Amino acid sequence: MKIYRIIYLFFIILISCDNKPINFEEYIKNHIFNNKEILENNIYQIENLNYKKIRMVYGEEGTYFSIYENPNNKNKIFDIKYWTEIIPIEIVFINSKFWVNIKTKDNRNGWVNAMYIEIFL
Asked if the structure places residue 3 within a domain, the reply is no
More confident residue, 62 or 32: 32
Instruction: Report residue 22 CA to chain centroid gap.
Output: 7
Question: Residue 85's pLDDT band (boundaries 50, 70, 90)?
Answer: very high
State which residues form the domain around 54. Answer: 19-120
**Count of domains forming the chain:** 1
Return the pLDDT at 106.
92
For residue 12, tell me if it sits in a domain: no
The pLDDT of residue 19: 67
CA distance 81 to 3: 46
Please report whether residue 26 resides in a domain.
Answer: yes
- Which one-letter DSSP state was computed for residue 15? H
Asked whether 117 and 24 are in contact (CB, 8 A), the reply is: yes
Extended beta strands in the chain, E state = 21-23, 43-45, 53-56, 64-68, 76-81, 86-94, 97-104, 109-113, 117-120
Examine the pLDDT at 101 and tell me if it is beyond 60: yes
Supply the CATH number for residue 61's domain. 2.30.30.40
